[in-house]
Amino acid sequence: MELRVWKELAVSKQVLMLAATEALKLDKDCTPEELKVALDAAIKRSADADVNISNAQEEARLSVAAVEQVLSKTKKTLESVEAELAETKAKQEKLELQLGTDRTNHAQQMQKIKDSLAEKERAIKTISTTLSDTPENVVKKLKTLKKQKMDEADARKKADAALATLRKEKKQLEQEKKEIEQELKELKDAQEKPEEEAAA
């Protein structure tokens, strides 16, 4: 019975060694020492693979965290830029409305000045016909007319200066709008790139 047990143990050992040599792709007639060396190497490779997998998982986790952090910052920046853009658009719309109102007012003022000038010219003609054209009267009339024309010219200059200022402000706001839209586009492109890299 003891011999039978030892025989079964020997057969089991032989079967186990044969399975191990086949799994490790060794020669069937290899020694137990060679089998042990091959098993140790396989165990070491398995342990190294576990370490490499663990390291790769840690690197992947850190990369994902970094991408998420960049994405969070990009989203905050994007929200800030969108708020600034909305504010700029509101300012531009307000300025355009104000510019339209100022143009209308300017046109009305110019028409009033023209009407006033025409009325004064008619009055001057009436006065000229009713009064004698003595040199003193002519000088007085010329001085009065000159003063009126200077006042009207000053009023025109002020109106033109106000219109030029409004045009300049509108141009500046349009430039700021273009710059903000460009920054927004760049931020959206930058946001899409980390998402594509993370997906890859």
Kindly state the average pLDDT of the residues 89-108: 89
Kindly state the average pLDDT of the residues 22-46: 73
Distance from chain centroid for Cα 120:
59
- The rounded percent of the chain whose pLDDT value lies above 90 is 6
pLDDT at 62 over 80: yes
* Residue at 197: amino acid letter: E
What's the confidence (pLDDT) of residue 150?
Answer: 92
Q: Which residue in 169, 67, 152 sits closest to 118, CA to CA?
A: 152
What's the confidence (pLDDT) of residue 26?
Answer: 66
pLDDT in tens, 128-183: 676 655 667 677 878 888 999 999 988 889 888 888 888 898 898 889 888 888 88
- Summary mean pLDDT of the chain: 81
Q: What is the pTM for the complete model shown?
A: 0.32
pLDDT at 98 over 80: yes
pLDDT at 66 over 70: yes
What's the confidence (pLDDT) of residue 41?
Answer: 79
What's the confidence (pLDDT) of residue 2?
Answer: 67
Walk me through the domains of the chain, giving residue ranges and CATH numbers: 71-199 (1.10.287)
